Structure formats: structure tokens, C-alpha cells
Amino acid sequence: MNFFKDVYLLFMRHLKKGLRAPVWLLIGLSQPVLYLVLYMPLLKNMGNTALMPTAEIVRIFVPGMLVIMAMGALFAGFSFIDEIRQGLIARWLVTPTARVGLILSLVFNQVLTLFLQSCILLVIACFLGLHVSFGGIALTMALIMLIGITMSSFSYAISLSVKDEGVLASITNTSYLPLMLLSGIMLPIAFAPNWIKTMALFNPFYYAVEASRSLFAGEYGNPIIVKGFAIVILFAAMALWLAVRALNKMAV
């Protein structure tokens, strides 16, 4: 019980800190909303998507925006580095709190923020013509939260290892853009040339985007859904392990 209590208390601490600057909730939401409002309408006049009804374009486009928002958790470590520098994390390490609990409290805070942002984005998408079953949305949200866990954990692991915003920025910016583009968030990878399709197969987020689109379409029997969940769960577990390992190394 102490483990859950410790996680809860630390989580509330991070939550209260975030509530003091709620503008970051809107900043994290701004990029996918701008894509949704300013980029998506252009698809009505582009090649294979020109003949699609607006509702179909929204259904294809929104899952990608949810994934890009979840991938934004990769930048969670920037504020964390400041806490490392202040010695706050070192003080936590001498408490009886389990190391995995320290990481989970940080990750859960990022997941809550992502959940709220995703809900707002879905409401906006509904006004733009999105029609999806509750089951499709619920399963997609579960997948998005897993991506948030993965990316925030990787970010904390890198932050604990490098302890420098400049190095973290180089690593995250270098990896974020190709992962994003090769996941097919704007348009399905099926529209891409063969060499991009081949490269996308090595991107775990490609499977997450395709699984989300299948869920939005109500294709619950599509094998890509199971594959997407399996891959993201594997990476989430690996990312959490790396973050806890980096925290343990810091304590040595």
C-alpha cells in the first residue's frame, strides 16, 4: 500500500505543479489542432483523397493527430532536467520510495495531460465531421496512452543519462521528425512510394497509427490492431525499464 500511496503523493505534486502553468496544456494541443484545421481541408483537393467524403478524411486524419500528440511526450524531460539540477531528484532517491514509483508518478502525470488533450482534440474533430463508435475511441485512447508512457519514459531515461537540455534537444529532435514522418500520421503510408513503405515497417509508431485507423473504421478483426498493441506495449515496458535503470545509476 505504501508504494501506491507514494506514487499518488508524487503524482499529485507533479499535477499541482502543472496546474500552476495550464498554458502548457494548450501549447501541447496547438500543433495537432492546427494540422486538423489548416492542413486537413487541403486533402479534399489532393489526388487519392479528393474523391473521399469529408467524414472519411477526418476519420483517417484524426488518429494520426492523436499519435503525434502522444509522441510529443518525448519532450517531457526538459523540465525534469531542471529538477535534477536543483537536486530535487537526489533528495527523492534517499527516501524509501521505490525507484519505479518515482518514474511512474512522472509518467502518469504526462498520461493525464495527454488524456485531456486527446479528449479536447476529439471534441474538435466531432465538430469537423468525425463519427466513430465508442469502442473504437476507447481502444484508440488506450493505445495513445501507451504511446505517451513510452515516449515520456524514454525522455526521462535520456534526461537522467545526459542531464543537459542541449544534448536532450539534439537527441529528441533528431529522432522525433523521422519517426513522425514514417508513421504515416498525415496520410496513410499506402499512398507512399515503395521505399518509404519499407522504411515504415521498422517504425513502431507506423503500426500504432494503422491500428488506430482500423479502430476508427470499426475493423476490429484487423490483425494490425493486435500487432500495434503488442509492439507499443513492448516498447512501453522497455522504456520504463530504461528510465528506472537510469534512475538507479544516478543513485550510485
| Per-residue pLDDT at 52 | 66
For residue range 149-178, what is the model confidence (pLDDT) as tens digits?
A: 999 999 999 998 888 888 888 888 888 888
For residue range 83-97, what is the model confidence (pLDDT) as tens digits?
A: 888 877 778 777 777
For the record, the C-alpha cell of 139 comes out as 481502444
Q: Counting every residue, how long is the chain?
A: 252
Collapsing DSSP states into helix, strand and coil, what is residue 219? coil
Q: Is the dihedral of CA 181, 185, 191, 197 positive or negative?
A: positive
Separation between Cα atoms, residue 243 and residue 113, nearest integer Å: 20
Q: Give the Cβ contact number of residue 26 at 10 Å.
A: 11
Given pLDDT bands bounded at 50, 70 and 90, which one contains residue 82? Answer: confident
Identify whether the C-beta of residue 15 lies closer than 8 Å to the C-beta of residue 112: yes
Q: Does 207 score more than 90 pLDDT?
A: yes
For residue range 28-65, what is the model confidence (pLDDT) as tens digits?
A: 667 777 777 777 776 666 555 555 677 778 888 889 88
| Per-residue pLDDT at 89 | 78
More confident residue, 245 or 186: 245
The rounded percent of the chain whose pLDDT value lies above 90 is 31
Q: Match 476529439 to its residue by C-alpha cell.
A: 122
**What does the pLDDT average to over 231-237?**
96
Helix spans in the chain (H): 2-19, 23-34, 54-71, 77-85, 88-93, 99-127, 134-162, 165-181, 194-200, 204-216, 223-251
> What's the mean per-residue pLDDT of the chain?
85
| Per-residue pLDDT at 11 | 82
For the record, the C-alpha cell of 39 comes out as 492542413
| Per-residue pLDDT at 17 | 76
**What does the pLDDT average to over 55-79?**
86
Separation between Cα atoms, residue 40 and residue 172, nearest integer Å: 26
Q: Does 211 score more than 80 pLDDT?
A: yes
Given pLDDT bands bounded at 50, 70 and 90, which one contains residue 12? Answer: confident
